[in-house]
Every structure is written in C-alpha cells, then in structure tokens.
Amino acid sequence: MISAIAPAKINLAFFAGPKRPDGYHDVVSVYQALDLFEKVSVEPASEWVVEVVGARLKESARIPSDKTNLVVKAALALASHAGISKPQAMRFVIEKQVPPAAGVAGGSADAAASLIALNKAWTLDLSREELAVVGSKVGADVPFALLGGTALGVGTGAELSVLPAFPESHVLLVFSTPGLATADVFGEFDRLQPLGDLVDAATVRERYLSDPAVIIGSNSLDSAAFSLRGDLPGIAETIPDYRAHLSGSGPTLYLLSDSRSQVENWARSFSELGLETLITKTSPAGAELEN
C-alpha cells in the first residue's frame, strides 16, 4: 500500500461574509497546522472500499464508508482532472486521529492525504499546486491540509498565501459531542448575522504580522455554534482567566500555551468534566508521502 499523511488544523482567526448567490460564503481565515496527522493508505481493489480505524469518540459512526467519503470524492476529482475516464477502483484505509464534524478539518486532511497517495499510486506526477486545485473542488480546507504551516485563506478559504510561522505553541484540543456539521453552523450564522462579519484580508494580515496574538480566537461562527450547542459557552470558560477558542465551525475548542505543563493542567480540568482532550502542538508540516 502507498500511504500519505496530512495535518489537522485550527483556525487562529475566522471571518465570514454574507451568503453568496451560489450558496457559499467569502471568508478570511488564518489557518494553523497541528502536529496531528491523518493517515490514508491506498491500494488497487475491485471496487471502491473505505475502511476507518482508530477513530475517536462516538461521533465516529458518522464517518461514511462508501463513495460519499471525501477520500473517494477526492479520487474521482483527481481522475477527472487527469483525464482518466475509468479510474482504477481503490481500497482506502484511513487511520483517524480526530473525530468528524469537529472543526479541525479531519475529513479535509483525509482528502489531502488521499490526493498525495493517489498521485503516487497512479503515477500522475502532478504538482502540489495542481493537487490543490483538485482539492478545492472537494472541500475548502483541503488545499490548506496539503500546504500546512501557517497561511491566510480567502475566497471560500481555498485561496492561500503563506504567513510567517506562528510561534511554536502547545495546543490543547477539547472535544465534545454532538459534532456540528459545517452547513448547519453556517445556516445558523446566516440566520443570526445575515450581513456577515467579514474583515478585509489585508487588515487581518497586517494584524497578524504586527502581533499574531491579537487575532487569536476571533471567529465569526462563535455565536452560531454556541446557539446550536448551548453547553459550549460554559465549556469555553472552564479555565479561569483563559477562554477556550472555537476552531472553524466547531464544536472543538482549543487553548494555546508555550508551557506543556500548563496545557497538561488545563487538560485535567476538562477531563474532570468528562470531556475528551488531546495535547498536541503547532506544526510547519503539510501533507506528504509516508515512507
């Protein structure tokens, strides 16, 4: 089998405009990759098969094992881009580290890893830029999962420009159920803020370059996610003097620190509430083949 990995992410900042006529939203996002990787292995098969192992939380039951899984969608989009009318069916084995519908782009990382693996398996030799074009047709976060590091995303979030690396930090992820579908959160956002909450990309870039800490936790989707999950505001305020931030459309919350021991202490506080946590750190890495 040929294997590839791709990172999960958090949104250091996320701003969204009103719903466009095509149903999408213009966004400005500061993405940060995590040292937390999804792994996808591929091999030829008689039919399209998706197997998922290592999935976390009971939300894992929501991960599709048929052609609706993003890895198969990515494969079909890749075949179309390469002019392959009858692509070889493949077996995918996804080794998951993050739960679905969590706002940390686990599914997009799966799609990105599958594109890297299939590019090798099908001997296509496409550039990273071409794969990003394919990935943008699968999901807005897929191009960033290919790129990794720290980046500014505009448009639907798929148009990326590299930012100076965010200072290496320890990251606490706080998972909770039920998960939140991105479409549901944006629907609630449209109801609550029909005019949107978009900030100019140049302004966000300038703020980040001036002091990355200034933009951390700014998220247009806060009110929508908190409306759909009324317990989230209380969870976010668990640690005195440190408010946990929503990543993407949630419901995953995150806290950053330059101290591993501080993060471990925070994790214990959330665990006492029965919440699952994961300690990781920021990463400069993107998707790549695994030897």
Active site residues: 9, 141
Helices 106-121 & 70-82, crossing angle to 10 degrees? 40
User: Which CA distances in Å does 188 have to 50, 192, 198, 229, 253?
Assistant: 32, 6, 16, 11, 19
Take residue 117 and report the two structure tokens written for it: 């693996």
Instruction: Check: CB of residue 37 under 8 Å from CB of residue 288.
Output: no
Amino acid at 286: G
Q: For 276, left (φ over 0), alpha (ψ -120 to 50), or beta?
A: beta
Instruction: Write the CB contacts of 202 (distance below 8 Å, at least 6 apart in sequence).
Output: none
DSSP 8-state assignment for residue 214: G
- Chain-centroid distance of CA 286 in Å reads 12
